[in-house]
Amino acid sequence: MLMYLVTKKIILAFLSICLSVSLCLAGQHNELKYIFLFIGDGMGTNQRLTADYYKQAIDTGNAKKVGDKLSLSMNKLPVHGIMTTHPSDAYITDSAAAGTAMACGQRVRRLTLGVDDTNKPIKNITEILRHKGWKIGILTTTAIDHSTPAAFYAHQSDRGKYYEIFQQMLSSGFEYFASGYSIAAINDNFNAFELAEKAGYKVCRKRDELKTVSDDKVWVCNPNWGKAGAMPFNSDRTKIDFTLAEYVENGIRLLTNDKGFFMMIEGGKIDWACHHNDAYSMVSDIIGMDQAVDMALNFYHKHLNETLIIVTADHETGGMAMGGRNDYFRPAKLKGQIGSAERFEIEIEKMKEKGADFNKIVDKTEKWFGIEDLTEYEINDLKTAYELSSAGEIDESMPKEYRKYAQKNPYTVTAFRIFSERAGISWGSVTHTATPVMVTAIGIGAERFCGLLDITEIYSQIFSLVNGCDSK
């Protein structure tokens, strides 16, 4: 370990010297002014690589072999690190504690947002940068008051206090929010747009408005939202839905200024897909986030000595493995799926209500995954799950089923696990794990994000980089 730390220090020193020398030779001023922090919620290393291999297979038409080069821009960034994510009270974190660790630099209890273990608010990086005159953007594919975005503007002892969190979003004064809707507004049945407009925010819900809006404070909200106010999964999106890449593109347009900007961009539904063991929706949301990374890279190439891009995750979700019962792994097989597990479950339930028999449900399942060859063994598994899911809620009084289906709809879980297995993907969990996540980076100070990191170092490295720049 000691040897490793010494080696890490030597590499860091070497990279810093190289960077300083090259900047001196170029005769350019090195001042960090623009930071993009991408957080793929639940996006473990295996998820990142599976999405990469899937894209390669689709792009090259070769489903059986990995090429020599990675295909996702986020994976090709020059600096790579690995990061532990645990909170102060457990090994496994949640998005509130993990978001707080990255935004505030402190390890806190699960389910808490921007407060320490005595519930005292901790100043976060966005508040510090705003004080310096930087503009702030908070972008997510979930609702704007969900935990990851909230960690960058709210201070609450409970991530479930959505109304209070939403109020703190409105009073933050941050220049740019882009998201799905608001969980607070859905739960408490109020119009979030009216409150936002009263607080001075221009609300944008159409593509032509998004492209032209130029107000000082903007909240872009996707035209549609589903469960918990989130944007649709990429696997379900329609033409009118915004993309995370559009959110970043317009964020750059609205926030660029001489003092600087900080953008936190969350691919929030990667986590939700993994909770469902829905590999195709996971892959397509990671690819959607990668297109947003491309927008940031376009900006980086125009502002080489002023920009830092970091791409990481708050934790891994699903205990996903690239491989299963044998050495077979073929992510391109996910391609046939036509929609998310969330939508699948709704459609199957509708069919059941209308009295469809099991054979019709199996037909629908095959169509959903673009297959025609479910085996007898797989159909038997589906039949057992179907009978259980028709019998009502699974609860802890049914220990075997409770464990097997992890308190989810047995039919959905079984169908998506079968489809994952066909692609050689297996799942050890339906929730978060303690598995470390990948960090990649490019730009000013990127070398600080290599090696073994702790989640609180996202904050501390940004803080010292920004203050280092200030003291010059």
CA pair distance 445, 462, nearest whole angstrom: 8
Tell the smallest beta-carbon distance from residue 392 to Zn ion (Å).
Answer: 25
Closest CA to 234 of 243, 225, 223: 243
Under the binding rule (CB under 5 A), the answer on residue 306 touching Zn ion is no
Find the part of the chain contacting Zn ion (CB under 5 A) among 171-179, 226-234, 264-272, 397-405: 264-272
Q: Which is nearer to Zn ion, 143 or 220 (CB)?
A: 143
Closest CA to 421 of 347, 331, 349: 331
Burial 339-368 (b: 16+ CB within 10 A, else e): bbbbbbbeebeeebeeeeeeeebbeebeeb
Tell the smallest beta-carbon distance from residue 93 to Zn ion (Å).
Answer: 10
Q: Which is nearer to Zn ion, 101 or 466 (CB)?
A: 101
Max CA distance (Å), the chain: 74
- Helix H or strand E encompassing 34: strand 34-40
**Residues 79-118 interacting with Zn ion (rule: CB under 5 A):** none
- Residue 138 forms beta bridges with which residues? 177, 264
Q: Which is nearer to Zn ion, 276 or 343 (CB)?
A: 276
Radius of gyration of the chain (CA): 23
User: By beta-carbon distance, which residue lies closest to Zn ion?
Assistant: 271
Tokens 């934790």 belong to residue? 315
Find the part of the chain contacting Zn ion (CB under 5 A) among 82-90, 122-130, 271-279, 340-348: 271-279
Going from the C-alpha of 36 to that of each of 81, 137, 255, 447, the distances in angstroms are 17, 9, 12, 15
Environment class of 15 (CB within 10 Å of its CB; exposed 0-12, middle 13-18, buried 19+): middle
Tell the smallest beta-carbon distance from residue 441 to Zn ion (Å).
Answer: 24
Parallel, antiparallel, or unpaired: how do β-strands 261-267 and 218-221 relate? unpaired
Find the part of the chain contacting Zn ion (CB under 5 A) among 71-79, 106-114, 269-277, 440-448: 269-277
Q: Which is nearer to Zn ion, 271 or 457 (CB)?
A: 271
Q: Which is nearer to Zn ion, 56 or 284 (CB)?
A: 284
Q: Which is nearer to Zn ion, 124 or 142 (CB)?
A: 142
Tell the smallest beta-carbon distance from residue 147 to Zn ion (Å).
Answer: 9
CA pair distance 249, 262, nearest whole angstrom: 14
Q: Which is nearer to Zn ion, 183 or 441 (CB)?
A: 183
Q: Which is nearer to Zn ion, 97 or 442 (CB)?
A: 97
CA pair distance 376, 449, nearest whole angstrom: 49
CA pair distance 419, 175, nearest whole angstrom: 43
Tell the smallest beta-carbon distance from residue 28 to Zn ion (Å).
Answer: 42
Tell the smallest beta-carbon distance from residue 432 to Zn ion (Å).
Answer: 6
Total of residues contacting Zn ion (CB under 5 A): 1
Tell the smallest beta-carbon distance from residue 315 to Zn ion (Å).
Answer: 8
Closest CA to 63 of 55, 75, 71: 55
Find the part of the chain contacting Zn ion (CB under 5 A) among 186-194, 267-275, 333-341, 419-427: 267-275
Under the binding rule (CB under 5 A), the answer on residue 266 touching Zn ion is no
Among 127, 266, 271, 401, binds Zn ion (CB under 5 A): 271
Contact residues: Zn ion, CB under 5 A: 271
